[in-house]
Structure 1
Amino acid sequence: MTSPQGPQASGGPVQGRTRELVLLADRAILHLARHWLLLVNLAVGLYVGLPVLAPVLMHVGHEGAGRFLYTLYIPNCHQLPERSFFLFGKRMAYSLDELPPEAQGPASASSCTDCLRLAWPGVLRAEGQNPPPRRFYYGDERVGYKMAFCQRDFAIYGSILLAGLLYGPLRRRLRPLPLLYYLVLCVPLAVDGMAQLLGLWESTWFNRVLTGVLFGGASVWFAYPQVQAAMDSLRADLEVRLARASQATRPS
């Protein structure tokens, strides 16, 4: 915290290099408070963009770079081809029966080592499961190349990005979505995802996209106005503190 004379430590006024560091930290936090939405949108845009870039790289012949992006997203998504969108093929979505034989393996690898071997067969010798897990089927020229995350993830994070961009001009007029309404909008995703996980039914690409968009859009509507209120309060406090610190440095 600071006093009217500028930043203070618990033992008295902060001076010299320490004072400069405190002021620098305050300015950095103020910049974050002013531009948090831009930074969040950039981060989400990067997170959404890289999985879409993976099939583009595979299509134009940069297989190594494409495989790197698929591997990068292994911890974040199952990457099953029958639940992913494809680019540069006859269709954007395929059922498991419509995919070629090399995409008919088990759902996952048995270990992290197997994951690396299967993701990089030219670098690490591929051993073990045959046919390989279908998450490592990236596509080909016939069916196209899949995105590096599933349809539901694409819908969730894509809608978070779009809603975040729309929130910019609306932030001063939009109130937070009530918690009860938010939970209601989350129910379709929970039901569809759990039913698919338990094998009660196989969800369609339309259901995955619809439930993902509802969840992603509702999450922005619920959270971003609350973050904005917190950042506005923080910004006002920091602006006062920095103004007082600036006045304290002026010659009398």
Structure 2
Amino acid sequence: MDATTQPGLRPLTMTRSILRHWLVIFLVVYGMFNALPFVAPMFMKLGWAEAGNAIYTVYSFFCHQMAQRSFFLFGKHVMYRPDQLPITLTGSTGTDTLLLRDFRGSDLLGWKVAWSDRMISLYGGVWLAALVYWGVARLRTIKPLSIWVFGLMLLPIVLDGSTHMISDTTVGLLTGFRYDNAWLAALTGHVLPKSFYGGDALGSFNSSMRLITGLLAAVGTVWFTFPLIDQLARGTVHDIDVKLARIADKQRRRSGQLEDAHEHFHTSHPTRPN
């Protein structure tokens, strides 16, 4: 019996197989994780509310899901301003966040994707960057980013996310300095359309920054971590191969010893003719 097929060694050989194909496994599993938020509005459109709401609930642990910062499918617009939604906001950040989070859509407006534009950029960006990494890594070895460059690629999303949080929690979702971005309008001399400076709609400064910083962080995360994971996986596969080779060698020696002993026995005890 081959050493790699012995029942006792199956966990070892299975681990080896997983490590050899870890990136393909990641792309498939993580790809499904990225697809489900888009499946939720499809389920709602089809009238499968129970299945759709289950996805929204699960993904609510990964995202605030506020409607004004989410993409909508099957409606008149891809994104909506708060005043375009059938929601009466109170001015309280906590209450308004819950109201915008709980609104998942309607037949008229469409149904929102189960996470916000930033999460689509960040999580989806990791999957896209991983796909590119997989293609390039098959042709050449990719060195990881330095920790400093990785930190610089994360800095924009930290600044953008933290200023949004400060603005939302201290002033309000619709009145904070990150909602009207008057500071940016003054800095640029109001040369751009008003719709660019204010709000969260697609094409606005806020939405653009969420998409850009999310994608930048995703690329940095993949470029920094995946080469390290790849090195660790290759090293572990090598160690497993060495161990399996030793086991196979011991089996060959043992088999040879048994054959020698069997031959010596028959030589020492020849079969007598009848």
Q: TM-score, normalised by structure 1?
A: 0.78
Residue 175 (structure 1) shift: 1.3
Residue 168 (structure 1) shift: 1.0
Number of equivalences: 213
Q: Which amino acid aligns with 2:142?
A: L
Separation (CA, whole Å) in 2 of partners of 1:222 and 1:108: 36
Q: Which amino acid aligns with 1:201?
A: R
Q: Which position in structure 2 is the counterpart of 1:84?
A: 70
Q: Which amino acid aligns with 1:163?
A: A
More helix by share: 2
Residue 208 (structure 1) shift: 0.8
> Which of 55, 63, 75 lines up with 1:69 in the alignment?
55
Q: Contact 1:79 / 1:150 at 8 angstroms: preserved in 2?
A: yes
Q: Which position in structure 2 is the counterpart of 1:185?
A: 153
Once the two structures are superposed, residues 199-242 of structure 1 have per-residue CA deviations (whole angstroms, 9 ceiling, x without a partner) of 14136222111110000111001110111011111111111111
SS of 2:64's equivalent in the other structure is coil
Matched, 1:167 2:133: yes
Separation (CA, whole Å) in 2 of partners of 1:78 and 1:55: 17
Q: Which position in structure 2 is the counterpart of 1:210?
A: 212
CA gap 1:147/1:108 in 2 versus in 1, 3 angstroms: farther
Q: Contact 1:80 / 1:107 at 8 angstroms: preserved in 2?
A: no
> Which of 165, 178, 186 lines up with 1:201 in the alignment?
178
Residue 83 (structure 1) shift: 1.2
Matched, 1:155 2:155: no
Residue 108 (structure 1) shift: 5.5
SS of 2:32's equivalent in the other structure is helix
Q: Which amino acid aligns with 2:130?
A: G
Separation (CA, whole Å) in 2 of partners of 1:207 and 1:139: 25
Q: Which amino acid aligns with 2:178?
A: W
Separation (CA, whole Å) in 1 of partners of 2:129 and 2:211: 15
SS of 2:178's equivalent in the other structure is coil
CA gap 1:86/1:194 in 2 versus in 1, 3 angstroms: same
Unpaired runs of at least 5, structure 2: 168-176, 180-199, 201-205, 257-274
Separation (CA, whole Å) in 1 of partners of 2:243 and 2:16: 11
Separation (CA, whole Å) in 1 of partners of 2:83 and 2:155: 29
SS of 2:114's equivalent in the other structure is coil
Matched, 1:24 2:10: yes
Q: Which amino acid aligns with 1:76?
A: F
Q: Which position in structure 1 is the counterpart of 2:186?
A: none
Q: Which position in structure 2 is the counterpart of 1:123?
A: none
Q: TM-score, normalised by structure 2?
A: 0.72
Q: Contact 1:48 / 1:158 at 8 angstroms: preserved in 2?
A: yes
SS of 1:145's equivalent in the other structure is strand
Q: Matches of residues 1-252 of structure 1 in structure 2 within 5 Å?
A: 20-21=7-8, 23-101=9-87, 104=89, 133-171=99-137, 172-199=140-167, 200-202=177-179, 204-250=206-252, 251-252=255-256
Once the two structures are superposed, residues 89-143 of structure 1 have per-residue CA deviations (whole angstroms, 9 ceiling, x without a partner) of 12212222232236x466667xxxxxxxxxxxxxxxxxxx9xx722111011222
Separation (CA, whole Å) in 1 of partners of 2:245 and 2:93: 59
SS of 1:59's equivalent in the other structure is helix
Separation (CA, whole Å) in 1 of partners of 2:103 and 2:19: 43
Q: Which position in structure 2 is the counterpart of 1:125?
A: none
CA gap 1:91/1:210 in 2 versus in 1, 3 angstroms: same
Q: Which position in structure 1 is the counterpart of 2:189?
A: none
Q: Contact 1:108 / 1:135 at 8 angstroms: preserved in 2?
A: no
Residue 164 (structure 1) shift: 0.8
Between 1 and 2, higher relative CO (CA 8 Å, sep ≥ 6) is seen in 1
SS of 1:100's equivalent in the other structure is coil
Q: Contact 2:144 / 2:224 at 8 angstroms: preserved in 1?
A: yes
